[in-house]
C-alpha cells in the first residue's frame, strides 16, 4: 500500500469504521484479514466505500487494501504480538 498517494488519516478512519460496523453486525463471524476501500462518485475523489475481506483480494485500480494489523492501535505499538480480533486500547489514566 502506498500511503504517499492517499490521505492516510481518511483511509484508516474509513477502514476502522467499516471494520467496526462489520464487528457489530457479525461478532461471531469468520476472522477478516482486512478492508478494501474504493473511490466513490463524489466530487474531488477520495475513498468513500469499503468492504471487509476474508481472503487476499484482487484489487481494481481505484481500490486500496488495508490489512487488519494496520487497523489495530495495539498492533502498531507492539508489532510482535498478533491479535485474533480488533481491539481498541484505552489511554492510561
**Per residue, what are the HEC states of 49-69?**
EEEEECCCCCCCCCEEEEEHH
Domain-embedded: residue 57: yes
Domain-embedded: residue 47: yes
Is this prediction's pTM over 0.85? Answer: no
Which residues contact residue 86 at a Cβ distance below 8 angstroms, ignoring those fewer than 6 apart? 19, 20, 23, 68, 71, 72
Q: How many domains does the chain have?
A: 1
Residue-level pLDDT at 75: 47
Domain-embedded: residue 90: no
Domain-embedded: residue 34: yes
Backbone angles phi, psi at 54, to 5 degrees: -115, -5
Of 33, 46, 22, nearest to 83 by C-alpha is 33
pLDDT in tens, 62-86: 888 999 988 876 545 545 555 555 5
Domain-embedded: residue 91: no
* Alpha-carbon span 44 to 35, nearest angstrom: 22
Domain-embedded: residue 19: yes
Domain hosting residue 67, numbered range: 3-77
Amino acid at each position: 500500500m502506498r500511503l504517499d498517494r492517499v490521505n492516510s488519516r481518511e483511509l484508516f478512519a474509513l477502514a476502522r469504521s467499516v471494520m467496526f460496523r462489520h464487528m457489530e453486525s457479525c461478532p461471531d463471524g469468520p476472522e477478516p484479514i482486512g478492508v478494501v476501500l474504493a473511490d466513490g462518485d463524489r466530487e474531488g475523489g477520495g475513498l468513500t466505500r469499503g468492504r471487509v475481506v476474508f481472503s487476499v483480494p484482487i484489487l481494481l485500480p481505484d481500490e486500496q487494501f488495508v490489512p487488519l494489523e494496520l487497523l489495530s492501535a495495539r498492533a502498531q505499538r507492539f508489532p510482535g504480538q498478533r491479535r485474533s480480533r480488533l481491539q481498541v486500547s484505552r489511554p492510561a489514566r
